[in-house]
Amino acid sequence: MKSIRFSRRRLVTISLAGVMTGLLAPLQRNARGSDFPGYTESKGVLVDLTRCVGCRTCEAACNLENQLPAPERPFNDMSIFNEQSDHLRRPDDKAFTVVNRYDSGSSVSPVYRKIQCNHCQEPACLTSCFVNAYTITAEGAVLYNHQVCVGCRTCMIACPFSVPAFCYSSAFSPQIMKCNFCYPTRLVQGRPPACVEACPRDALTFGERAELLRIARQRIKRNKGRYINYIYGENEAGGTSWLYIAGVPFNEVGFDEDIPKQPIINYVKDFLAIVPMVLTIWPGLFAGIHLLVKRRATAIDNDPKLAESDHDKTAA
């Protein structure tokens, strides 16, 4: 009997302690989403377009690492750059990354640009997903879970960089395909993604995002004239883990410069804020109108003269 009482008291103590910790937790660490500055240890990759020569080694390494289907034409076939007249290649359901060539007006030699998921710090795909299929890890990788995906493709609409791709050819397990930062195979152990390790020109630098921003600024400062003074991805869509520096204006090499400098979710917040308003105000408002209308009808029933005077008014 005594032991039961003891355990009961213990249970109460433990639950109270739990509640108190829960209440105190927000005081210790600011848990509000809007104030969260991002993970400090967040990783990233700096892409230096001035170093890239378009060898497509990164494409091959990515294909191997992620066991993607063999490409229609081998990765050492450079003629693929010549056949991009109408629209350029983009990451799709068979390739997580592609390199495109641009003939920029500001540069004599062509410029190459690697495209993959930029791993936003506040990803639009994640915030737009209604089944929570996307997660972001402390390392900054944005991951997709095919097991809960319904295939609505809202993430493809939401992504400002148009990265997620859909397996339209699959009838029974179509899923979204996109770069996963090599999280399951490499990043989780602190190793750089396959493309970075494969790059023979050191065009891709892996490291902590904060450190990469410092490196980028240094390179721009030390090599006067070689770079445009801009780091693409520092603020785009609220900041991305993958950052770009280039020697030509970014809009000349296919970058969208109109991408908002704030997280995409900010544009949706106005609507999300009215939801609780409508849910709480509408019932009272419309029930009230109904009661007023009903009361007037009863009043007219009791005193038909009211209706007549009303009728005269509308007729006049």
Partner 1 sequence: MTKPPHDSVSSAAFSGEPGRIARFVSGKILMAKSPKQYLTLVFSNPFNWLLAVVLAIGIPLLIQRYATGLGSVTHGSQDYPWGLLLGFGLFGMVPLSASGFLLSTAVEIFGRHDLKPIERLALLNGLLGYFFAVVYLLVDLGMPWRLTYPMFVSFGPAAVLFLVAWHVATYLSVQIGEMIPAFAEWIGWDRGKKFIKRITLGLTIAGIILSTLHQGALGALFCYAPGKIHPLWISPEFQWIHFFCSSIYAGLCMVIVVSTLVAFFLRLRCDENFKNSLDRITITLSRGAAYAMVTYLVIKLVALAHDQEWGYLLTGWGGYYVSEMVIGVILPLVLLTYGSRHHLIPMLRIGSLLAVLGILWNRLNTVILCYNWKLHQEIPHFKEVWLVLTILAIYIITYRFILYRLPVLFTWKESDRSNNPAR
Q: Which is nearer to partner 1, 88 or 248 (CB)?
A: 88
List helix spans (H) across the chain. 2-28, 57-65, 124-128, 154-158, 194-198, 209-222, 269-302, 304-315
Per-residue tokens: 163: 């990265």
Question: Is position 289 an interface residue for partner 1 (rule: CB under 8 A)?
Answer: yes
Closest of 210, 251, 258 to residue 234, by C-alpha: 210
Q: Which stretch binds partner 1 (CB under 8 A): 18-26, 105-113, 226-234, 290-298?
A: 290-298
Amino acid at 225: G
Question: Is position 300 an interface residue for partner 1 (rule: CB under 8 A)?
Answer: no
Question: Is position 314 an interface residue for partner 1 (rule: CB under 8 A)?
Answer: no
Question: Is position 308 an interface residue for partner 1 (rule: CB under 8 A)?
Answer: no
Considering the complex, what minimum distance in angstroms separates the CB of residue 175 from partner 1?
7
CB 264 within 8 A of CB 160: yes
Cα–chain center distance at 72: 30
The string of DSSP codes covering 4-58 is HHHHHHHHHHHHHHHHHHHHHHHHHS---GGG----TT-EEEEEETTT-----HH
Q: Which stretch binds partner 1 (CB under 8 A): 34-42, 46-54, 114-122, 131-139?
A: 131-139
Question: Is position 31 an interface residue for partner 1 (rule: CB under 8 A)?
Answer: no
Give the integer Cα–Cα distance in Å for 57 and 48. 15
Per-residue tokens: 147: 């097991």
Give the integer Cα–Cα distance in Å for 261 and 267. 11
* Binding residues among 92-121 for partner 1 as defined by CB under 8 A: 92-93
* 152, 215, 220, 248: which one binds partner 1 (CB under 8 A): 152
Q: Which is nearer to partner 1, 210 or 274 (CB)?
A: 274
* Binding residues among 269-288 for partner 1 as defined by CB under 8 A: 270-272, 274-275, 278-279, 282-283, 286-287
Considering the complex, what minimum distance in angstroms separates the CB of residue 169 from partner 1?
5
* 9, 214, 226, 294: which one binds partner 1 (CB under 8 A): 294
Cα–chain center distance at 139: 15
Q: Which is nearer to partner 1, 16 or 297 (CB)?
A: 297
For residue 167, count other CB atoms closer than 10 A to its CB: 16
* Binding residues among 196-215 for partner 1 as defined by CB under 8 A: none
For residue 293, count other CB atoms closer than 10 A to its CB: 10
Closest of 50, 47, 39 to residue 208, by C-alpha: 39
* Binding residues among 158-177 for partner 1 as defined by CB under 8 A: 158, 160, 162, 165-171, 173-175
Considering the complex, what minimum distance in angstroms separates the CB of residue 89 from partner 1?
11
Cα–chain center distance at 70: 28
* 293, 303, 308, 310: which one binds partner 1 (CB under 8 A): 293
The contact set with partner 1 (CB under 8 A) reads: 86-87, 90, 92-93, 124, 127-133, 148-154, 156-158, 160, 162, 165-171, 173-175, 256, 258-260, 264, 267-268, 270-272, 274-275, 278-279, 282-283, 286-287, 289-290, 293-294, 297
